[in-house]
Every structure is written in structure tokens, then in C-alpha cells.
Structure 1
Amino acid sequence: MRPFLKALGSLPRTVPALALTVVAGLGEGFGLALFLPLMERLTGGDSGIARSVPVVGPWLEALGLVSSPLVMIAMVLVAVSGSFALAWARDITILRAKFAFIAQRRTALLDALLHARWSHMARQSSGDTVNLLLTECHRAGNALASQISLLGTLFQILVYLALGVLMSWQLLLLSTALLILVAVVVRPLMRRTGLLGEASTTANQEYSHRLVDLLRGLRLIRVTAAEAMISARMASLADRVSHVFAEGEITTATAYFITQLLPVVVFAGLLAVATGGLGVDLPILLGMLLILSRLAPRLAQLQQQYQSCLINLAALVPLERLLTETLAAREDTGAGQREEFHRLVEGISFRAVTYRYEPEGAAVLDKIDLAIGRNQMVGIVGRSGAGKSTIIDLLAGLRSPTHGEILVDGRPLASLDMLSWRWRLGYVTQDLMLFNDTLRNNLLLGRNYPQQDIEDAIAAADLTEVISTLPDGLDTITGEGGIRLSGGQRQRVALARALLGKPDVLLLDEATSALDNESERTVLKAIEGLRDKLAVVIVAHRLSTVRKADVIYLLDRGVVAETGTYESLAAKGGQFSQLIGAADRGERGAP
């Protein structure tokens, strides 16, 4: 019950929907109440509407609106039809509110993720996030819509019970027994529904998580002939999801069957008792039976709505938790508050920079000092785990030093508007991100650049000839992950994208490690043509990539072990020359 009450009001337009519910319920109740004096008139009785409908009866008699059965029939028709129209408007309002909630939550969660600190984002599971955005948002919307519908149904039931009090309190006691009996019988089913709702959320999360991993590793699965094993594993997970949801639907159907059956049994018993022992007048009995005929399906509807709310409400918990945590982890970029960065004049320097992923964890970087001059090519090499990519993350402002500082033209990077700084960065990684979209849109990423800037970036990345061979030029669809392009072509697309906007600093994180030698030479040629136009920072897996760098920093266990040019480090006979030898021999662990 606590989660139910806590979620109340989360759906947009809750108040208008409840207001329509109240008015519709009162309208239907008024229409049904008029049946009693109408039947009295039709059967020859005349106890007066003031007694039959004590709340509004005197007003109707004073206004002369009950002078004939035809007038009363018209009033019943207007009241009941109006209540149905209001109920329809309420249902439309709830539906619109549900889908508005789904869209709002998806937008809010995605926006929060896009603006969260990188340390928070790095801990999120892509599969869980996709499941929350696609499935759990929809389930949460269904839960909240069912909640409002449930409250409306409950109000209508209360109206029916109030009419029962006006007609016959004895019959009302029997009706109340019906409610208690239904509640006692279906209570265990309700409890089971709540547990199945939580199980549904867990099963969906696991299936989505595994599915995203599968799609990412599809090439590996095919090459290693692991299709049968993976398919069997996913089938098992799919069966689990299917079983949990089927059990939830079966439980709902069982409760619905019981809720429909019991009113029929009590209905028949009530008719027998009323005619045999209570001596109830026929108009009152008919009116009471009319109310019970409306009450029985409402009870079944109430049960369905409550179970739907319970089984789907579990989705709201992880959804709201991730949204709350992600909003709390929002990155402070300093937009509009810190100094804007416009152009790199001198260069960048690391001053005793230390970085730890966890406050008490081992240092990934330990008191690093390095300099990156304007219009200079800097190489960063070292064995796996030396901290190379962490330097790129620090330069991009995705992470902040635990100790020490990074200076940009003598100013602390932390004192700059981070968005304006990132606008002046170009970034290329080993894991290229190309969308199943046109080549043009893959270059622009939703931003606007003059056509001349696009052409300049394409030329600088040595991509002009490639585009001329494509069937639709820049409007060619690249396919999922850029599958219609070769590895070298995809790398040059990524380079052209990084060069759009004429950045001051180009960050290359293992940008050529997955390329063959010829493709690497083509990309390196394009990069070398940029060295006099911007600062280039190359994190290299292949030492050949940094052969022409102005300065190379060799990292070892988070510290700068050696510094110099390729030739000076190779002649020194230290770790760098050992890495060259290991690379020549193809030894495992070489950079």
C-alpha cells in the first residue's frame, strides 16, 4: 500500500482526471437514484421523490421537473448519458496523461544520463538502461494510469453504496458482505501479483542486459561458432520472462473470475432473502438489484485495475531511483558561470596530477607532469593499464584530478566553462561510433556547420576520394556501425568529424590500433598534415603511430618513466627500446 500511496499524483493531469471521475460518478448515481421514484410512478405508487431521493428530491419537485414519467425518463437519460460521456472524457484524459508520462520520463532520464558525470555514467549497464527507457517506462505509465482508474472505480462503488443506504440499509449490509467476501478471497492473489511484478522487472532487466551484450559481440559469436550456445542461453532467459509475465496474467485472470462469480452468487441470494424475509417493496428491490448489477462489474474492474497497478508499479522503483541518482550526479560544467574558452594560445600542462578511481584505491596516475604545446604532436605510450586513456579523459574534462591540476594557457582547466572547452576538442577513439544514418549526419552529429567547413574537414581527413566512390556521396547510408565502409574509411570519417569546427586540440585514443598497415599509413598521413594547425595528442598502441611525434611520454604503472623523441628514446636503451623490441618480436603485452 505504501508504494501505491507514494506514487499517487505522479501522473500528469491527475487532478482533472479525478475531478471528471467525481462528476461522472455523481451523475450516474443521480440517474440511478431517479429510477426508484420512476418505477413507483410506473407501478402506480406515489411516495414522492422527496422521500425516494432525499438529497435533491425536494429541489426537483419545487422546480416542477417530476410532473410526469416522461420528464423523469428524460432526466434519467440525460444524467446517465452525461455520466458516461464524462467517464469517456476521463478515460481519454488518463490515456493522454499516461503517454505524456512515458515520454516525459524517457526524455528526463535520457537528458539526465547525457549530462551526468562520466564517473557515474561509466557504472551504468547499457542493457539495464535500455530496458528502463523502453519497457519499464511503459510499465510505470500503465501502473499510474491504472491507479487513477482504480480511484475512479472506487468512487463509483462508494456512490452505489450510498444509494443502497438511501434505499434499504438491510440490503446494504448484504452488499457489504459481498465486498468483504471478495476482498478476503482475492487478497492472497493480490500479494502474489505484487511479487510477480518485482520478478517481472528483474527478468526484463537481465534479458535486456544480455541482449545488448549479444548484439555488441555478434561478430565474435559468429566467428567462434557459438550461435547454438548463445541462442540456448537467450532462450532460457526469454522463457523466464515469459513464465513470470504469464503467471502475472494468470493470477489476474483468476482473481477476475472469482470477482465475477461471487457477485452472481450473492446477487441470487440477495434476491431470495429480500423477497422471502425482508418484505422489501418491489420498486426498492428492483432499484437495489439495478445498483448491484452495476456494482458487480465495478468490483471486478476494481480488482483488475488494482492488480495491473501492483504488477506494473514495481517498474517505477528502479526508474525513479536511476533518475534520482543520475540527476544528483549531474556534471557541473560551469556554463554561464566560469570563464569561456576561446582559443589555445600557449599549451596545456599537467602539474603533479594524481588520479584514483576510488578515494582509497590505487593511483592510476601518480604525480604526472607533462606538457602539450600549441601546434605540437605529443605521443603517450605504455603497456596496457599504464594510465594512457585516463590522460585523455582528464584532458576532455570527463574526469578531474584527485590531486594536482591541469593548466590551459596557465589557467586551471577546472576554472573554465567545460562546454566551451569541449567545443574546441576533436576526439577519435579505437571504438568508432557510426550510426545507421547518412554519412553527412554521421559527420555533423546534430550540429550545424557551413558547407565549406565540411569540405575542409573531409579534405583534411583524406576522405574526398572515398566519398566520390559512394553511390549517394555524403547522403549514403553507412549502415549499422558503418558496416558499408572499410575500417580505414570509418577511421577517416571519425577523423573528419573530429576536425569539424576547427578544434584547437585533437585527441586520438588508440585511433589506429585496429587498422591494417596501409590504412594506418593513410590516417597517419592525414594526421601529420594537421600538426602545424592544432595540438595533437596520440595515445598509441602501435609505436609506429608516434614515430613523428615532437615528444613522447612513456607511462609505466601510472608514472612518466621516459620522455623524449622516438629516436632519442630508441637509442637510450630503456623501456621504450624494450617495447620496440617486444613489438618487433610480436610478444604479448607489447604496446
Structure 2
Amino acid sequence: MIRTLLSNAYQCLGWRMILLFLLLLLSGVFEGLGLTMLFPLLAKFGMGDSTGAGGPLAAIQSILNFFHVPDQFGVLLVITIGLMYLQVMFTFAKGWMETECQTRYTNYWQRNLFDHFIDAGWAFFTGERAANRVNAIMVDSGRISAAFYVVVQIATCTVFILVYALISLFSSWKMVLFLSGFGAAIYASVRPLSRKTRRIGEEVTTVSEDLQHRTTEFMHNAKLIKATATEPMAVRLFAQAAERFRRIYLAAGIMPKLIVAIYMLCGYTILGVGLWLAVVHFKVNPAAVVVAIYIFLRLYMQLTNLQQFRQGFLLSAPALPAAMRQLDHARSLRETMNNGKALPEGPAGIVLDRVSVNYGPTQALDEVSLEVAAGEMAGITGPSGAGKSTLVDVMVGLVKKEKGSIEIDGTPIEEISLRDWRRSIGYVGQETLLLNGTVAENLTWGNDVARSIVEEAAKTANAHDFIMDLPNGYDTEIGDRGARLSGGQRQRLGLARALVGGKRLLILDEATSALDAESEHQILKALERLRGKVTILMVAHRLATLSLADTILLFDKGRIVESGSWAELTEQKGLFDRLRQLQSTSL
């Protein structure tokens, strides 16, 4: 897992990652050099001497003599402080680069996931909960970055442990052997806890996804919940998800602390026993004992940190395979944009010839043939599950047909540029996506569009007048999801945005189903103004909405069962007329 993580991180960070580990190594080296200088400093106070073969003071003194360093307290002190200064500087540089790498790695995963998700085909979005994708981008990317941070900390601890172990070995190999045996025993004793930590880490992703799902569901449907007084139900279900989240993170937080406590208790025991053996049995000189105590405290702190970081890695690392699975799934369903023929200007003409679409065993469209002439206003209606939405999806290219042919302006859809085709389409759904920004920002979506073009589209959509009545006109902030606007105003903004840029096909997918009569009238007036200038496809359950259509197509069970103008379908006295009468009676 660590190898996979580092390989992936290197793809993102490159030379920054190499520099980070170089700074880490230099920080450890200068930490060790600073500590070794304590031996000759303590000797100046009469603690220990440099006699005796293999003595640490003799070895250090010979190195100092080689570099012609005077054996004076002031000189030795300056060198020691200088080495420690360098260690602090390298540690700070490491921390800086560490933060730089971590933030870049988080950003890399967030953008990588979002880019591949948004480039995936429609099947990717309909195949699983949206909360899973949101959790991958918002939570798992941070956990992956945290796992990388923890690996860096593990490497830091490892370097410092090696430095301290070498100095300790230089001072007293018997003490090092004793500490190593004791440390190995402690490590073996906490292995079962480490395995449990890994299992908890794997559960964190699932629990986070569930909480994201509940939060998204209830926040997006707050009006329904409040209007039906079902707040207790929402509170209860959210509380259950939040409690599972609390419990798993409680376990995730306690496990590293438990292991740290075990290490600390064992450490105090080792310190006491080790000192007793060093002084009584091994006859270690006083300077070595003082340095050994200092090194032991630093060493044991690093060992404790190493275990704590290891537990942190076990908790965070499972996010990497989870995110990679999401990424691989998105890549496998990546949408292919044809680099085909350029599209002509003007309203689009669309022809379907015996088109069929299946969703597994369900046939959504069954050999559908139709023609929507350039500039025509066509209405699509039928009961739920009749195939209306699938018809729109296959025309746009979101869903692939099983058989049959689709032609845009006489050219098969496979031979045109799918991206250019979609850019020429204006789409208005039942709910208009509005960002927390100004009216102008929502009409242009960040594109560089002249204000005159924006205002012309707003006028066509019957939105200009109400926009100018807002406090700051087109520069008025409309709140989260357009909360400061009425439903009709939001839909007219959606229509205006769909018209910006000279569209060839305008799709209204149940765009007026949730509007009152006056708001719907404003939308229909705008569509009447657009007649002949753009091809219009209106999908609606409410038949009165389609009264302006040149042609109405009635779908049932994936087929066109009736077609014609409003007058022609009414005169046929078929299913359309019966539905019209039922809706008129209900009104």
C-alpha cells in the first residue's frame, strides 16, 4: 500500500517529493551531529574521559583533530549550537515542503476525481449514489493526502530512530541490544490492535458515504420535509447516520491513543531497568549515561510517534483503493467525443429511424421513428416510463442506441462532433441549477459573454423586466440555488441561460411542470417568440403546455402511439384526447 501511495504521489509531486525526502534526511543527519557534540562538551565538565579504545569521546576528538578544531569549550559550544541551528532550518524547510506537497496532493486528487467523473458517460451517474462521488472528492481525497503526510512522518521518525540508534550504539552497544529486544516485544504485542485499526479505516469510507448521502438528501428536500412536518423523521434518520459516523471516528481516534499509552508505560519501565543495568552492570561512564538518557527520551518519543503515525496510516490508507476504484470505474465509462463534421448554423433538423434503447432487460425505446424539422416546435408526452426522457438522452448523445439510426441535419450522429452538437443545445429541466452568485454570473456560467448578448437572451425569455427590478439588476446576488427568486423567475433565468450563445436546439424537459399558470404563461410567450428561430423540443405531462407545438408525439411503452397537431390528435378521439379530457376534468 505504501509503495502504491508513493508511486502515485510521485506522479503528482515529482521533484518536490524528492526534495522533501532530501530535507528530511538532512534534518536527521544534523540532529545526530548536534547530539554527538554533547560528548566533548560534557567532557569539559569532567563527565567521562577520552581514554580507552573505542571510547566515544576519543572517536569524536580524533574527528575534530582531523579538521583542526581547537579543543576549547567556546569553540565546541559554537559548533554544537551551529549544528542545531542548521537542524532547525532544515526541519522548517521540510515542514514547508511537506505542507506544499500535501496541499498539492489533495488538490491533485480532488481535480483528478472531478475531471474523470464529469468526463464519464451518463451510465456512470445513473449507476450509483451521488453521495459516493461527493464523498470521494470531498473526504477520500483528504484522507489520501493525510495518508501521504503520515508516510512522510513515518519516514521522519525512521530517520531519527536510526540516528539515535547509531549514537546509542556508539555509546553502549549492550544498552542498544537491550532496548531493541524490548522494543520488538512491544511491537509484537500491539500487532492485533493494528489489524483492528486497519478494519476501522476501511469502515470509515462506507460510514462517511452514508452520512454524505443523508445530508444531501435532506438538504435538497428541505422544503418537502418542512411542508409535510416530517422533521422528526429526517432528524431521526440523520441522527442514526451521524451516530454511526461518531462511533467509527471514536474508535479511529481511540486506537492510536491506546497504543501510545501502551508504549509510554513500557517506555518508563525500559528507562528504569535500562539505567539500572547501565550503571550497575555495564559500568557505562557518566557522560555516556547522560547522553543516553537524553537520546532515549528522544528515541522513545520517535518510536511512540512512529506507532501513532502507523495507526493513522492504517486509518487513512483505505481511502486510496476506494478512490482508485471510483476513478477506474469513471475511466471505464469515459465518454468519447467524436471529432466529426462541423455543424451548420441555424435550427437543427433531427431524424430517428427505428431507434431502440435497452436498459438491461427493459426496452426503453422500441424502434422509434420520427422527424423534427428545423425550426419546428415538437411536443413529447406520455405516462411515466413511456420513454420520453430516454428519447431526449439519445438525441443529445447521453445514451447509446442499440439499433437504428439518428441523423442531425442529414448526418449520422456518429459522424458529427458530439461536443459541438451539445454546445448548440439549450436545456431547461424541471429544476434550474443556479449558483450562489449574481444573475449575470448564472446566465454566463463564467464565460466571457457581452452584456448585450446576455440581456437579449433575457428579453427573449421574458426575464429582463424582473431582473431590472432587482436591487442591482444583473449584478444582484440571488443566494444559494437562487433562493431569493420565485420558481417562475428561476425557470426564466434557466431559459435565458439556455438561449445565450445562439442555440440550434432548445429542450424543455418538464420545465413548466412545477410553475403556476402565470409563470408558465410567461415561458410559453417566450417560446412563441422563438418559433422558427430555433428547433424546440418540449417534454411535458401536462398536455395544455404543448398547445403551441407544431407536432405532438404521444409515447407509451417505448413507442409512439399517436402523433399530429393538437387539433388532429383531439379529432382522432384516441388516447391523447382521453388524457386531455381527464386533465381538463381534474382541473
TM range (shorter): over 0.9
Pairing 1:503–2:503 present: yes
Q: Does 1:485 align with 2:517?
A: no
Report the counterpart of residue 469 of structure 2 in structure 1. 469
Match of 1:532 in 2: 532
1:6 aligns with 2:4: yes
Aligned partners of 2:55 and 2:23: how far apart in 1? 29
Distance in 1 between the 2:26 and 2:288 partners? 25
Over residues 250-287 of structure 1, what are the superposed CA-to-partner deviations in whole Å (9 max), with x where a residue is unaligned? 22222112222222211111111111112222233333
1:90 aligns with 94
1:16 correspondence with 2:19:
yes
Does the alignment pair 1:121 with 2:125?
yes
Q: Deviations over 1:140-164 (max 9, x none)?
A: 2112101111111112111221222
Decide which of 259, 266, 274 is 2:263's aligned counterpart.
259
Query: Measured at CA, do residues 49 and 324 of structure 1 come closer, stay the same or move farther in structure 2, by a change above 3 Å?
Result: farther
> Which of these residues, 133, 139, 146, is aligned with residue 142 of structure 1?
146
Whether the 8 Å CA contact 2:570–2:577 is kept in 1: the answer is yes
Q: Deviation digits for residues 95-151 of structure 1, max 9, x if unmatched?
A: 221111112211221122222111112224222222222222222211210111111
Q: 1:212: how far off?
A: 0.2
TM-score scaled to structure 2, two decimals? 0.94
Q: In the alignment, is the contact (CA less than 8 A) between 2:382 and 2:556 conserved in 1?
A: yes
Give the one of 179, 182, 202 matched to 2:183: 179
The secondary structure found in structure 2 opposite 1:513 is coil
CA shift in 2, pair 1:254/1:487, >3 Å: same
| Distance in 1 of aligned mates of 2:205 and 2:557 | 42
The separation in 2 between residues aligned to 1:524 and 1:218, in whole angstroms, is: 29
Once the two structures are TM-superposed, the CA of residue 15 in structure 1 deviates from its matched residue by 2.0
Matched, 1:214 2:218: yes
- Which deviates the most, 55-64 or 404-413? 55-64
Q: Which residue of 2 aligns with 1:348?
A: 350
By how many angstroms is 1:237 displaced?
Answer: 1.8
Taking the aligned partners of 1:197 and 1:490, their CA distance within structure 2 comes to 43
- Counterpart in the other structure of 1:69: 73
Given candidates 3, 12, 32, the residue that maps to 1:29 is: 32
TM-score (norm 1): 0.93
Whether the 8 Å CA contact 2:347–2:535 is kept in 1: the answer is no
**Rounded Cα–Cα distance in structure 2 between residues aligned with 1:196 and 1:562:** 58
- The residue number in structure 1 matching 2:365 is 365
- Structure 2 spans left out of the alignment, 5+ residues: none
Aligned residue number for residue 422 of structure 1: 422
Amino acid at match of 2:342: E
CA distance in 1, matches of 2:322, 2:300: 36
**1:51/1:540 Cα in 2 relative to 1: closer, same or farther (>3 Å)?**
same
Q: Which residue of 2 aligns with 1:542?
A: 542
Within a 5 Å distance, the mapping from 1:118-517 to structure 2 comes to 118-334=122-338, 337-344=339-346, 347-358=349-360, 361-517=361-517
* Offset, 1:346: 6.6
* Separation in structure 2 between the aligned mates of residue 572 and residue 416 of structure 1, nearest angstrom: 39
| 8 Å Cα contact 1:426/1:506 also seen in 2 | yes
8 Å contact kept, 1:33–1:53? no
1:349 partner letter: V
Shift of 1:486: 2.2
Deviation (angstroms), 1:186: 2.6
Decide whether the 8 Å contact of 1:131 with 1:204 is kept in 2.
yes
Alpha carbons of 1:265 and 1:501: their partners in 2 closer, same or farther (altered >3 Å)? Answer: same
Contact 1:352–1:368, Cα closer than 8 Å, also in 2: yes
Q: What does the per-residue CA deviation read over 1:187-235, in whole Å, with 9 as the maximum and x for residues that have no partner?
A: 2332222222222222211111111000111111111111112112212
CA RMSD of aligned residues (A): 2.2
Q: CA deviation at 1:385?
A: 0.8
One-letter code of the match for 2:351?
A: S
How big is the shift at 1:506? 0.9
- C-alpha separation between the residues in 2 aligned to 1:53 and 1:209? 65
Moved over 4 A (4+): 48-51, 53-59
Post-superposition Cα deviations, 1:466-514, rounded to whole Å, max 9, x if no partner, equal 1232222112222333232222222211111111111111111111111
Distance 1:128 1:49, change over 3 A: farther
Deviations 1:366-398 (A, max 9, x none): 111111111111111111111111111122222
Q: Is the 8 A contact 1:20 1:87 kept in 2?
A: yes
Looking at structure 2, the residues matched to 17 and 455 of structure 1 have their Cα atoms a distance apart, in angstroms, of 53
For residues 414 and 168 of structure 2, the distance between their equivalents in structure 1, rounded to whole angstroms, comes to: 71
Structure 2 partner of 1:80: 84
Identical-pair percentage = 30
Please state how far the C-alpha of 1:428 moved relative to its aligned partner: 0.9
Contact kept in structure 2, 1:51 and 1:57, CA below 8 Å: no
1:562 aligns with 2:562: yes
Bigger mean CA deviation after superposition, 386-395 or 573-582: 573-582
Measure how far apart 1:349 and its partner are: 0.4
Cα pair 1:143 1:312 within 8 Å, conserved: yes
Secondary structure of 1:529's aligned partner: helix
Question: What secondary structure sits across from 2:570 in the alignment?
Answer: helix
Does the aligned pair in 1 maintain the 2:382–2:554 contact within 8 Å?
Answer: yes
- Do structure 1's residue 107 and structure 2's residue 102 form an aligned pair? no
Asked whether the 8 Å contact 1:28–1:80 carries over to 2, the reply is yes
Deviations 1:320-373 (A, max 9, x none): 221232233221113xx3223242467110111111123xx2220011111111
- Structure 1 residue 50: Cα displacement: 8.4
Q: Contact (CA 8 Å) 1:37, 1:49: kept in 2 or not?
A: no
The separation in 2 between residues aligned to 1:117 and 1:9, in whole angstroms, is 28
CA apart distance, 1:582: 2.6
Q: Distance in 1 between matches of 2:362 and 2:57?
A: 80
Segments of structure 1 that go 5 or more residues without pairing to the other structure are none
Q: Which amino acid aligns with 1:569?
A: L
Q: Give the aligned residue type for 2:26.
A: V
Measured against aligned partners, the alpha-carbon deviations of 1:49-95 in whole angstroms (never above 9, x if no partner) come to 98637988655322212533332332222223322321222122112
Deviates more, 1:395-404 or 1:383-392: 395-404
Alignment-mate amino acid for residue 4 of structure 1:
I
Distance 2:347 2:292 in 1: 88
Distance 1:491 1:57 in 2: 84
CA distance in 1: counterparts of 2:53 and 2:347, whole angstroms: 92
Which piece of structure 1 moves more, 490-499 or 281-290? 281-290
For 2:258 and 2:373, the matched residues in 1 are separated by 73
